[in-house]
Amino acid sequence: MEKIKNFVNGEYCDPTTGQYIDNIEPATGKVYCLIPNSGAGDVQIAVDAAEKAFPIWSGMSSTERSAILIRLSEGIEAHMDEFVQAESRDNGKPVSLAAQVDIPRAVSNFHFFATAIVHYASESHQMEGLGVNYTLRKPIGIVGCISPWNLPLYLFSWKIAPALAAGNCVIAKPSEITPYTAYLLGKVAQEAGLPPGVLNILHGEGHTVGDAIVKHPKIKAISFTGGTSTGKYIAQTAAPMFKKLSLELGGKNPNIIFADCDFDDMLSTTLRSSFANQGQICLCGSRIFIERPLYEKFKEAFVDRVSKTVVAPPMDPKAKLGAVVSKPHMEKVLSYIELAKEEGGTVLTGGERVILEEPYDEGYFLRPTVIEGLAFDCRTNQEEIFGPVVTITPFDTEEEVLMMANSTQYGLSATLWTSDLKRAHRMANEIDAGIVWVNAWLVRDLRTPFGGVKASGVGREGGWEALRFFTEAKNVFIKY
Ligand code: NAD
């Protein structure tokens, strides 16, 4: 069986532990390759390589670094089909989604930050008659990037690209559940001419190699995307070492629909915002609030469309939903559907596992599920499920829906559907979220700040925010 490898000091290598763990294909439930079960020893070797590479990489001009990162972006594009197939197989998502969203976005992430860095400038503050301050923004040194399984290469590259562009050396760990495209990235980095040691990719579990990255004293900053409880642990570990931290965590996002919305646009977008990537996008709107006069019309049309949604093997071009990422995750989602019933909810469509024909009969396929009749503050409506499950709830007033929308511990994103411009501004201002879409969902401009409030995280990614995170500011004053 194929064994994937770590990528350290510009070369593929085996883990020092000599151990491997299974990598399972979600669509079949079968092991299809082995991944390194790396440990603290591997982190040390990667840090040694990064330390040697740092003066070379940070000493290059931003134009030279930019050229290499553009080649990296073009390298992914040149291997597009290989990356697309690998992402879909590893994660269970439809091939069509990996081809339209995941891999093109990884290409854009590298291209975007490769070009951003050559436009990056720092401030100067003049003090009249006294002197001038100017700010230097220098790379931090060695940084750690840890990413989750839901958008594997998309989120991996969203961290690595700005870190590298700013002149840092990176120790990166993809999720052990979806390691494959990060593995392929090593080859592209070699082809692009990235100097050895600048990007090191270690595979393995969070509590071993992930923890060793967070604890290593020479890794000065951690950019993490994943679950809120993991984020809390990382914050506790890294804070006493005074590491810079960016934490992008969970969500339980509201999708608020007013009766004056464009119904057709809202309906087709709400299908996507509920179930894209099997509902496994941190920005999915899993709590749908509908103004009461529209409730019955929405419910009928939505349930009809959801019940016709095609759940199929990822490579089937008709597949709108593929498999969820793992057996434990499938079981977690199913347990929340049971909880919703215990809490008094009614399953309007879905609510069960789908058994497809061989060889997919042991795959982790779930029907998209819509539940109504739940209180806004029950566990189903407060806890992150992260699967193809949404609840629908009517509301009467703006005040009421704001209260319900803001009632969770999370605050990542929100979607608003209305034709009333003043209401859109009013509500957008009041919602506890880092990102609000009005009459849209998942429209992403890479220059904008991305991140959440409350238990959805600390810090912002995207544009200058990311370049600021991956640099240290130093102010210099010169007397006239
Ligand atoms: P997770 O927290 O289990 O794992 C994320 C990554 O952290 C993995 O690489 C994992 O191996 C690693 N990890 C786990 N324990 C660690 C530890 N103790 N020290 C260091 N690293 C550790 O999350 P997941 O299940 O992979 O991803 C799903 C979660 O990610 C959801 O909660 C989702 O909302 C969140 N997410 C957030 C965003 C965002 O931008 N806010 C985006 C995507 C996903």
Is ligand 1 within 6 A of the CB of residue 179?
no
Write the pLDDT tens digit of every residue in 94-140: 999 999 999 999 999 999 999 999 999 999 999 999 999 999 999 99
Tokens describing residue 4: 């994937």
Question: Distance (Å, rounded) from C-alpha 215 to C-alpha 300?
Answer: 52
Write the pLDDT tens digit of every residue in 355-383: 999 999 999 999 999 999 999 999 999 99
Establish whether 248 is a catalytic residue: yes
Ligand 1 centroid to residue 319 C-alpha, Å? 26
Q: How far is CA 404 from CA 160, 251, 252, 417, 443, in A?
A: 36, 15, 12, 16, 24
Query: 138 with 471: CB under 8 angstroms?
Result: yes
Q: What is the 3-state secondary structure (H, E, C) of 77-120?
A: HHCHHHHHHHHHHHHCCCHHHHHHHHHHHHHHHHHHHHHHHHHC
Query: 363 with 313: CB under 8 angstroms?
Result: yes
Ligand 1 centroid to residue 161 C-alpha, Å? 19
- What structural domains does the chain harbor? 6-249+456-479 (3.40.605.10), 254-449 (3.40.309.10)
Is ligand 1 within 6 A of the CB of residue 350?
no
Write the pLDDT tens digit of every residue in 391-422: 999 999 999 999 999 999 999 999 999 999 99
Question: Distance (Å, rounded) from C-alpha 356 to C-alpha 378?
Answer: 33
% of the chain beyond a pLDDT of 90 = 100
Tokens describing residue 340: 């919703």
For strands 413-417 and 254-257, give the pairing: parallel
Which of 381, 403, 354, 351 is closest to 286 using CA atoms? Answer: 381
- Indicate which residue's Cα is closest to atom 30 of ligand 1: 226
Reported confidence tier of residue 71, pLDDT bands at 50, 70, 90: very high
Average of per-residue pLDDT values in the chain: 98
The pLDDT assigned to 210 comes to 98
Among 33, 282, 291, 372, the active-site one is 282
Reported confidence tier of residue 278, pLDDT bands at 50, 70, 90: very high
The pLDDT assigned to 168 comes to 98
Pocket test for ligand 1, best of 150, 160, 208 (most atoms within 8 A of CB): 150
Of all residues in the chain, what percent are helix, strand and coil, respectively (each to 5)? 45, 25, 35
Which of 37, 46, 35, 314 is closest to 184 using CA atoms? Answer: 35
The pLDDT assigned to 239 comes to 95
Among 25, 87, 176, 248, the active-site one is 248
Determine if the peptide bond prior to 359 is cis (ω within 30°).
yes
Ligand 1 centroid to residue 322 C-alpha, Å? 21
Is ligand 1 within 6 A of the CB of residue 148?
yes
Would you tell me how many other CB atoms lie within 10 Å of the CB of residue 155? 26
Question: Distance (Å, rounded) from C-alpha 409 to C-alpha 251?
Answer: 9
- pTM of the predicted protein model: 0.97
Ligand 1 centroid to residue 248 C-alpha, Å? 9
The pLDDT assigned to 313 comes to 98
Round the CA-based radius of gyration of the chain to a whole number and report it. Answer: 23
Phi then psi for residue 214, to 5 deg, are -60, -35
Question: Distance (Å, rounded) from C-alpha 348 to C-alpha 76?
Answer: 42
Is ligand 1 within 6 A of the CB of residue 252?
no
Ligand 1 centroid to residue 224 C-alpha, Å? 7
Helix (H, G, I), strand (E, B) or coil at 161: helix
Residue 479, phi-psi category: left (phi > 0), alpha (psi -120 to 50), beta (remainder) = beta
Reported confidence tier of residue 442, pLDDT bands at 50, 70, 90: very high
% of the chain beyond a pLDDT of 70 = 100
Return all residues near 452 (Cβ < 8 A) that are at least 6 apart: 248, 249, 251, 410, 411, 412, 413, 433, 434, 435
Reported confidence tier of residue 78, pLDDT bands at 50, 70, 90: very high
Write the pLDDT tens digit of every residue in 204-225: 999 999 999 999 999 999 999 9
The pLDDT assigned to 223 comes to 98
Is ligand 1 within 6 A of the CB of residue 233?
yes
The pLDDT assigned to 231 comes to 98
Reported confidence tier of residue 187, pLDDT bands at 50, 70, 90: very high
Query: 117 with 62: CB under 8 angstroms?
Result: yes
The pLDDT assigned to 247 comes to 98
Phi then psi for residue 443, to 5 deg, are -85, 120
The pLDDT assigned to 150 comes to 98
Is ligand 1 within 6 A of the CB of residue 227?
yes
- Indicate which residue's Cα is closest to atom 34 of ligand 1: 250
292 burial (CB, 10 Å; 0-12 / 13-18 / 19+) is exposed
